Structure 1
Amino acid sequence: MGCGNSKVLPEASKKGYVSVVQSLVAFSKAHHDDDEPKKKKCAGKQRGLWFSTNVKNPPPASNSQQQILKDGRPRDRVAKYKDKFDPRVTARYDIKALIGRGSFSRVVRVEHRMTRQPFAIKMMEVEAPGGREVCASELAVLQRVSHSNVIQLIEVFQFPQRVYMVLELATGGELLDRVVSRGHFTERDATQALRMVLEGVGYLHNLGITHRDLKPENLLYYHPGADSRLLVTDFGLATFGSAGCDISRGDHRTWSLRTTCGTPEYMAPEVLLRKPYSCAVDMWALGVITYIVLSGSMPFEDDSRTRLYRSIVRGKYSFHGDPWPSVSNLAKDFIQRLLPLDPDTRLTAEQAIRHPWVASMAASSSMRNLHRSISQNLRQRTSRSSSRCPSSSTASNVYSSKSTRKKV
């Protein structure tokens, strides 16, 4: 977060990385995580127009969602981005507003013309080699996943110069925004959120997908309601291994990766040490996320990138300061089992779901409200980040943090 929240991009694709926009917002759709959509090819050979016919049709948007869609932006700005879209796309979708941009992409909020349901369309330029590379890797993941706790690709339009990815949207905001806005937050609330994340991450790992950039900003609520599901988003750094992690046996070692990438504060020690790694790096990141969700502070943080990395590779963190005296030993044990230096001893997603703290929904933990300490710590971090980087985003706008192209 703040200055320290920049990404380290894969060395093989640094010039081509385009971050998936994290402020994707939601329509209500029911789908099960066992069905995989058929895979489609990316625009590598540029063979002209094609688009998927297996469009997933969600139920009509609620009144509250329709209200959110009312866009007060000047029509000329909407028209400016609408003109960039192929007419065969705008024939099906009404362009509403620009919600994000990257080196090779624009993301806009849209409505389906027939159903009036809200979506996001990510328009990617694929003429440049970097754009084709990003398109291929991102689609390889998005076209395979179908889970209630993973952002869903709805359909794809492909043309010689551009590829249009239609994605579901989420109006509920990011994880930490929800924690702050609740006014009351306990360990039970934390386990409810983390269980949904673990369900999504476990599904990805079973498919052989490592996210490589898990952090609170990439965990978005589907809708503003208290019963909203939580979505894992932003697959710009995600990758496939040669096989899935055998979660049932707790085996992280069925395949390994070598590329150094991610957001520094969440990177596992084996990544920083340039050792071969597996999906266990995602579990380390979930340990960091759990620490943040329960305290509003980070286990590893330093203005100096060198000192930050040193503390990570040493596994040096503590449970000092508020609200840790009020946090249960079971919650601390959960974090400690996700943050060992040896990746083979870390909990897998399936093991983490079965951990007593999560499985019991923190039933034996204190029901003390941690909100005040969490919010205070988050405000202090935001203030420190703003003082170091006056132009950095606020806590509710950290989606747009810039990426770094420096190697670790």
Structure 2
Amino acid sequence: MGCGNSKVLPEASKKGYVSVIQSLVAFSKGHEDNEPKKHKEQQNSPWSPHLAPNSQQKFRQGQQRDKVARYKDKFEPRVTARYDIKALIGRGSFSRVVRVEHRATRQPFAIKMMEVEAPEGREVCDSELAVLQRVSHANVIQLVEVFQFPHRVYMVLELATGGELLDRVVSRGHFTEQDATQALQMVLAALVYLHSLGITHRDLKPENLLYYHPGADSRLLVTDFGLAAFGKPWYLRTTCGTPEYMAPEVLLRRPYSCAVDMWALGVIAYILLSGTLPFEDDNRTRLYRSIIRGKYSFHGNPWPSVSNLAKDFILRLLVLDPPARLTAEQAGRHPWVVTMAASSSTRNLHRSISQNLRQRASRSSSRCPSGTTTSSTDANSLGRLMPPETKQKQRQQGRAAGLIQPQRAIQPRARGHKQHQHHPAKALDS
């Protein structure tokens, strides 16, 4: 739910006392005459308590059909000739995501329609396409085909319907260290593959980790490559990502490598085992300062029940010196991951983790800084930072397919386009 300023209604025009009395008399008479009619209209309203639930459902379905029809009109005929538009499942700064079915095979997919007329939209689209057209891995969202037009690009991707990583943790009712290692193994498999191709994700977080289907045997997919980049080690310099998951070298605006993804993985592992973030503060300057200093702890529930081997895994990822951080291959060979926490406690951590996650979601929904929007999708994260001109275009977005550029991102600067950007290093110096 967004939080904006209350709307102030315009004042009534100032007229004489007689005019006011005449208006009141006329309103009263008309109100009495129309009362039976009004009562009848209320009974026929789709939201009337006298109306059967089936009628309310039909009304909602009609609204959904109207919404789908509006978006069908925006799609190019070449796209709709092959895919049947079913439902809108998300919105982003420059994108809309719809669930579709292939007309011939009836197989479901997601189509991400990106507006590329603006420089920022073009850059995000080019970045994502550059990655998706090169990758093919079981744990990376797959691009099926692309339709390119002057002002829009349509990316057809596989549809992930199993929900976000942390949603699965909360809903399953039982969660142990072994369950955590199963999820991390799939993420590590994707990172080994991506890093071998010179691809750095740069926005790895639980919201971008989706299960392909709701079943217990579903594979976990790394999604949302809007900020991903190709580059040689220590070549990347752009400050981007989600603050709570950003590595110290990014905040300090130093050249960095794919090691930033491993720092983010350490943060994800910390959340998986506790339901809390290692670095969290409402004040952004204090947050940056704690990340740069590497200040975090293993205090509070359920950390006393978490094994030392699991903590060692996190400690070797949340290392301030990037070359000393575990690589994806090294992390995959860590004893805690290899043995799937065989020597760790089998104690169910679900209660503590779920409680901590719900408390964070409650705090996030109650926090609403001026000029920002908080949606239900922000329950597990404070969101990414965006430059002002991009933030104005941002809308609330669904995460059903995990294909939309999340809110409030620190994004790479569009070529030839000036933008204001908050510099954490300057804030820390003050």
Instruction: Give the shorter-chain TM-score range.
Output: 0.7 to 0.9
Q: Is contact 2:364–2:378 with CA below 8 Å preserved after alignment?
A: no
State percent identity of aligned pairs. Answer: 83
Q: How many residues align?
A: 329
Normalised by the size of structure 1, how large is the TM-score? Answer: 0.77
Q: Is contact 2:124–2:227 with CA below 8 Å preserved after alignment?
A: no
Normalised by the size of structure 2, how large is the TM-score? Answer: 0.74
Q: Distance in 2 between matches of 1:149 and 1:381?
A: 28
Q: Is contact 2:202–2:228 with CA below 8 Å preserved after alignment?
A: yes
1:353 corresponds, among 320, 325, 332, to 332
Counterpart of 1:87, as a letter, is P
Please report how far the alpha carbon of residue 355 of structure 1 lies from its aligned counterpart in structure 2 after TM superposition.
0.2
| 1:83 counterpart = 2:73 | yes
Contiguous gaps of at least 5 residues in structure 1: 4-70, 243-253
In structure 2, the residue matched to 1:407 is 422
Q: Is contact 1:177–1:396 with CA below 8 Å preserved after alignment?
A: no
Q: Is contact 1:73–1:97 with CA below 8 Å preserved after alignment?
A: no
1:305-384 matched pairs, under 5 angstroms: 305-384=284-363
Q: Is contact 1:186–1:367 with CA below 8 Å preserved after alignment?
A: yes
1:266 corresponds, among 221, 231, 245, to 245
* Rg larger for: 2
Q: Distance in 1 between matches of 2:71 and 2:151?
A: 16
Counterpart of 1:197, as a letter, is V
Q: Is contact 2:200–2:257 with CA below 8 Å preserved after alignment?
A: yes
Counterpart of 2:122, as a letter, is R
Please report how far the alpha carbon of residue 138 of structure 1 lies from its aligned counterpart in structure 2 after TM superposition.
1.3
Q: Distance in 2 between matches of 1:128 and 1:106?
A: 15
Q: Distance in 2 between matches of 1:346 and 1:267?
A: 14
Q: Distance in 1 between matches of 2:243 and 2:212?
A: 27
In structure 2, the residue matched to 1:392 is 374
In structure 2, the residue matched to 1:251 is none
Q: Distance in 2 between matches of 1:133 and 1:189?
A: 37
In structure 2, the residue matched to 1:160 is 150
1:86-97 matched pairs, under 5 angstroms: 86-97=76-87
Q: Distance in 2 between matches of 1:268 and 1:210?
A: 13
Counterpart of 1:394, as a letter, is S
Counterpart of 1:393, as a letter, is S
Higher relative contact order (CA 8 A, sep 6+): 1
Q: Distance in 2 between matches of 1:395 and 1:181?
A: 16
Q: Distance in 2 between matches of 1:100 and 1:321?
A: 36
Question: 1:117-144: CA deviations, max 9, x gaps?
Answer: 1111111222333332222211101100
Change in Cα spacing, 1:131 to 1:394, as seen in structure 2 (3 Å) is closer
Across the aligned residues of Structure 1 and Structure 2, the Cα RMSD in angstroms comes to 1.9
2:263 corresponds, among 274, 284, 292, to 284
In structure 2, the residue matched to 1:134 is 124
In structure 2, the residue matched to 1:231 is 221
Q: What SS class does the counterpart of residue 280 from structure 2 fall into?
A: coil
In structure 2, the residue matched to 1:199 is 189
Please report how far the alpha carbon of residue 395 of structure 1 lies from its aligned counterpart in structure 2 after TM superposition.
5.8
Question: 1:214-249: CA deviations, max 9, x gaps?
Answer: 00000000000000000000101000013xxxxxxx
Please report how far the alpha carbon of residue 161 of structure 1 lies from its aligned counterpart in structure 2 after TM superposition.
2.4
Q: What SS class does the counterpart of residue 213 from structure 2 fall into?
A: coil
Q: Distance in 2 between matches of 1:165 and 1:394?
A: 26
Question: 1:244-278: CA deviations, max 9, x gaps?
Answer: xxxxxxxxxx4431100100000000111111100
